[in-house]
Amino acid sequence: MVVRSILFGLLAALVVIGCEPKVRPVPIESLKVVTDDARKFEMKVPANWNIQTRKGSMILATSSKSAASRFNTFSKGEGGAKVELRVIPIDSTNPTMASIIEKSKLEFERDTTKPKDISDSPVPMYLDEAVTFGGKVGKKLSIEFDQIDGKCRIEMYFAEQDSLVTTLTLAAFGNTFQDYEAEFAEMIKSVKLAQKVVVAPKVDTAAPAGPEPPSTTLRAYAAADFSIKIPDNFQGTKGSSKGLSSMSFAGSRLDCTIQVDVFDAKDQKNLDKIIEQNKARYQGAKATPTTVNGQKAYYFNYAGGAGVGSRAYFTVKGDKMFRITLNWFKDEQAVYLPLFEQCVGSMNLK
């Protein structure tokens, strides 16, 4: 009987261990209030996370820089969470809060059906419910789906004031959303909605200009499989691809990146077949022929996320397949895309 009790206890312990999340959540040490001076919206965010603001339109806090990049691509990674408060004006493009919600639903469904790290099981539809948000009657969308490192959960809240729709997104990979529920609840309660503020024009030379634009001065970066020139205010970090190698380059805007992934192409060197196999991954976009380092290449233009434009290049050299992915903030496409194209044009494939 003693032996049986010991065995039962060990089995119970294994069950408990097996139910633990695959990743550890980045702790929230404390919360601090961030206020937008232009439209007066504000919320509490984790003080120890990476915080970005865009005057009049956004407050973003992510548990790490790699997590911020992962929310743009839904690629593989080790956990990660974000809190994002955005403001969308009611105008001819977005005539009502309902139209903004419908667009968010479509983006929700599109982003969560990207096949990069999502199981083969059908992705559940979002839940849509009425809530009180920022003191106003609003809406809540929520969705949960499986990824290799555990469930990803996303919640979005919407409310309108002064013809401005304030949206809050809470999201976490790696089955860690429940670890933040208490802090997330406090953040939701802390939200103040955007409002129209009429102020006299003022030039404040001491005020920060926001995220630093990409430098037009390029510096060389050499890797084992390739070399490329990147803006000299961009930094390179190891990517998360399963291929031979992966490098991601980014500046102060985390939704504006260049990523180079190298894969073994010994079993499939036919670029046209590779393009056909990958077409579905890029929303069925048309492949545009081009060249990279003198090699035959194609690229797909697609929507990488809310407000983010993306492009993926494919080319083969020798026994290697190269994928170069560009992401840029659509409102600043004229700044980023021509420079990123110049970077791709500088590549040397080894």
Nearest 10 degrees: Cα torsion 103, 109, 112, 113:
-130
Residue 4, pLDDT > 90, answer no
Residue pLDDT, tens place only, 244-275: 899 999 988 888 999 999 999 999 999 999 99
Which amino acid would we find at residue 239?
Answer: G
| Domain 24-190 identical in fold to domain 218-349 | yes
Q: Is the pTM of this model over 0.75?
A: no
Q: Based on the number of CB atoms within 10 Å of its own CB, is 4 exposed (0-12), middle (13-18) or buried (19 or more)?
A: exposed
- Helix, strand, coil shares of the chain, percent, nearest 5, are 25, 40, 35
Question: In the predicted model, what is the mean pLDDT of residues 55-63?
Answer: 92
For domain 24-190, give the CATH number.
Answer: 3.40.1000.10
Q: In this structure, are residues 326 and 340 in contact, taking their beta carbons and an 8 Å threshold?
A: yes
- Domain residue spans of the chain: 24-190, 218-349
- Which homologous superfamily is 218-349 in? Mog1/PsbP, alpha/beta/alpha sandwich (3.40.1000.10)
pLDDT at 200: 56
Residue 289, pLDDT > 50, answer yes
Q: In what order do the strands lie in the sheet with 50-54?
A: 50-54, 58-62, 81-89, 164-172, 150-161, 136-147, 127-133
Q: Which residues contact 109 (CB under 8 A, 6 or more apart)?
A: 123, 125, 126
DSSP structure string for 173-191: STT-GGGGHHHHHHHHHH-
